Chains A and B, each alone.
Chain A
Amino acid sequence: MRIESPRTGARQRNEEAYAALPAYGAARPEGSSYIMGGCGIAGVMNMAGEKVCGDRIARMLSTMSERENGLGAGYAAYGLFPDDLKDLYCLQFLFDDEKAMTVTEEYLKNRGAIVRDERVPTQRVDSLRPPRPIVWRYFFRPDPRSEKFRTKEQSEDECMVEAVMGINGAIPGAICISSGKDMAVFKGNGHSYEIAEHFDIARYDAAMWLSHSRFPTNSPGWWAGAHPISLLDWSVCHNGEITSYGVNRRFVEMNGYRCSLLTDTEVITYTWDLLVRRHGLPIPIAAVIMAPPYYRDIERLDENGKKLAYQLRATYKEAFLNGPFSILVGRSRPEITMVAMADRKKLRPLLIGESDDGKTVYAASEECAIRSVQERAETWEADPGSPMIARVGEGIVRRGIEPPFGVMDR
């Protein structure tokens, strides 16, 4: 005798189970220590800086429906604010309640000027589970002379890093989800299309979009824990798991960053900020540090390449991201840039696409994400550990198939 399985989709059955789990807004889930996942990433950039509507990225992400289970999704938009707001830091927050918001505003006012603030527009999506935190944005100018900063007379960027780490670590019920200029992150606990609808991202046109959909295996949904994970204008969408997390975490903490988001992606974001912004290293060098070539391949480089490669591996060994990963990284300065790369064993999928008219570049976990919005495109895989770099105004600067020191780009 056998009992046949019912005809409804398996995915729906699992999602009913997730609905019974507790969900969290800004406040950290109790008792959680680490959240793992298997996910989808997608990105699009108009290389002339023309605007791409948000529904395009939402469609890319949602096409990869198998890569999410409704426990988190997010979008980062670059180049979306008008000229009078582009040069201010746009801080977007998730607040669990008004109190968290008040404390945060006080904190910010002690450290600079809030030029403008507003509720981030949202729409009602019935299927989106509570809690639904308050999402608010502040256009902010920090004052490095403020007594409240621990380090005196530091740069504005450093002020912002200190402020964001301070709020995320110390103010309960408040999490800053983006803190860069001319960019913003929209994310939460829900399916990719639910989050897209909740934030009505179709109302935004941006030169570049990065996005991520989650498939956590063992944790409750948490608005703040979704990707992209962002600091200043850096945002990272990550598929995979970093086996060197303990080492990388200590390294970034030793350099002054505070990890509070319970996900390995956080260390990736801070490592990019440390290597590129603070240490001034070009993006391809940072990529070599995070996904270094094997020693046996270093031996076959020319003298200068060998010397440089050994220096990078020896000096920055704690920044090596071990384990399978594919990541999309975005920044807005000096120009809007997209970086796409996979680990040195290429254990996670990553497709790059360029539209036939040469105007748009795509990156995604699966080809169907690209094809669903761009019928005519060339697609290719980047080499393991080799970054694809595309920049507004310049196009695809690196295709991701060049040797490690082949194209020395900023």
Chain B
Amino acid sequence: MNASRTDAEAVRPARAAPTVSEPSPAPRRLPESVWALALLAPSLLLLASLFLYPLSLSIRSAFTERGGDGGTGNFGRAFDLYGGDIVFSGAVACLTVAIADILAIAIAGYLTLGRNQTAVAWLRWLYRWPLFIPFVVAAQMMRSFLAKNGLMNNAIVGLGLLEPTQTVGFLDWRGVIVTFVWKQLPFVTLIVAGAMASLDRSMIEAARNLGAGRLRVLIEIVVPQIRGPLVVASVLTFVTLMSVLSVPMMINAGSPTMITVDMAYRITSLSDYGTANALGVISYLMTAAVAWLYLRQGIRRDGVPP
């Protein structure tokens, strides 16, 4: 902040040496904050017109009845028709976050505490591959991989663990969770591993010297210190999962399904913006609730002295 003030003075030399005869260009007399806002204006305009306005529109539309009056009828219809899907969406997203968090802690923990450098290097190379693969491509992969005749079942049969007639497809809620975890795990691991790498190692070494096993060091010393980044990664993952349309559409065709599919159906097939937006507001509230719960837990645990 101080630095920007010195910069501000450098921009306006006119004030230090006022020369009346020389008309300095008009923009230079503008305060710096006006310049700053002018430079920020296009991005703020985009944010306001393509995010804030549609957001307000979705909330307003959710509380507008078909006749045009205000009311909560859309929410009644949303809960009547899609109550099961709302629970299903929340459960799938929560389960995905939980599994991704546990696996991410395990992978990042090994990257931080692992003693065998070769294995650490392999793991580091391995876990990142799905990081930037889009959901729609991941869904297509899993659609064939997890099918009854997919590569996964073929490999299990090839190893002699199952007979070909015993295999089952996983293209239901399990497939959705597997796809979500596959796609989001590198993201959560990257954040968690980054946080673990920047920890002070002396406490870890001290605990190791006192004879604590690596698993105990991970759970009791490392994980409590990276709770903040883990919470952020979990909340971002939950929000992302509540927005994905392609994965439930392509992998979980039946019912119950995720509310993103229901929203798309109300819009594209029925042009029913009221119910679709009621579902949208419900998804905002679900993410807000999850963020609040996570953050509260993070703060409470951090508040407890070690």
Q: Do A and B come from one complex?
A: no
